[in-house]
Structure 1
Amino acid sequence: MSLRNFILILVLFLSVSITYGQKKFKVAVKETGGWQELFFLVDEKGKLIRKLDPDKYFMCFNPDEYVYFAIFGLRAGVDDGPGWTAINADEKVLFNVFNASYGEPSPDYLVENKIRIVDNRHLIGYADHKGQIVIKPQFEFATTFHKGKAIVGENCKREPLDTHADETDCNHSSIICERYGYINEKGTIIKIGAYSFNQIMNEIHWEIPNE
């Protein structure tokens, strides 16, 4: 066997192994009668995969549906980076999910088979429904996809929507960027420059997704 054929067979084997290793599961939630909920990962045959540590996880955002990853909130003191944590059936952390509404718990969700994710620099990328990162985090600002395009921004800063009495009040804000543009489904920047968000939105006919 030639080295080239051996490498091709090895790559094929690894690809099949990785695909086989992806498995659907759902999160079963049990109420304890108090402030704490118990979470169990269950496979498609109803078999228990594992019980999660209630001292680590406090909220699940996609229970009772079979998924390749589940989105959880982590308790104080458990720090896996910004955003909400996405885990697979083996409780492996896949990525952190972008919080879509600053100032309130609002993890992103799949739109056109893409969910926004964030890294430790708070840059935004995308993963698919199987938990595979399809566009690595690189954007300061990025919307969901609409008809294969998403709006991105550069040189961005956060501006409060309202003036609050003190720091303990709610802190709703929006992101304002100096440059806007848009990307395709591969993450390639098609256009970016000194445009407003509305100019790009109108050009590509981008719309806010219906929940």
Structure 2
Amino acid sequence: MGHDFSQYAPVGKAEAARMQAAEAARRVLGAPLPEAQVAPVVVVPPVAQPAPVAQPTPAPVVQPPPVAAPVFVNAAARTRRFPLDHPVLFEGRVFAEVHLRRPTSREVGQFFEELAEAIAADPGALVYFPVFADADGGLIPAAVLDIMDDDDRDPIMGAVADFLPRRLQALRGSAPPASPRAGGGDTAPTSST
């Protein structure tokens, strides 16, 4: 008992709405209206407003606990303080003491990079071992080490070997105690006396 829909032509929504309006007008007026007099009627179904969606409360951002930097167990044995009898002023800062300290493996690697750059730029350049630190642990600039009073410098340079790792001791060889010449050779005397 089905209905045969094959006799109907497919119709779009706008066409169907116009046909419904014409059928309604024919019933009210009792007579069919000419096609031209029927105004197209567009039926727009109401658009359902979406229900307000509750915004999820953002989860609190959990910061991982700060990772503590590794430290040497016996850090005091890795450092020795030398107060200067003749402090040096450089770039607005007074250097009143030198701390000799064993460099970290990262500092040794950086030293070898700096040494290679110095050799490329000037084979006779002096590059200090990374063992001369200030009270805050930062490396002392070469300009400060160069101008240091000899009475302050001598005991410091005499103790340098105690703070050099094996890789740097191998470089030290016959070079001056502070650092090797970038080209690796010894320097000639600067005076004849």
Q: Tell me the TM-score normalised to structure 2 length.
A: 0.23
Q: Which has more strand, going by share of residues?
A: 1
Bigger RCO (CA 8 Å, 6+ sep): 2
Larger Rg: 2
When normalised by structure 1's length, the TM-score is: 0.21
Q: Which one has the bigger helix percentage?
A: 2
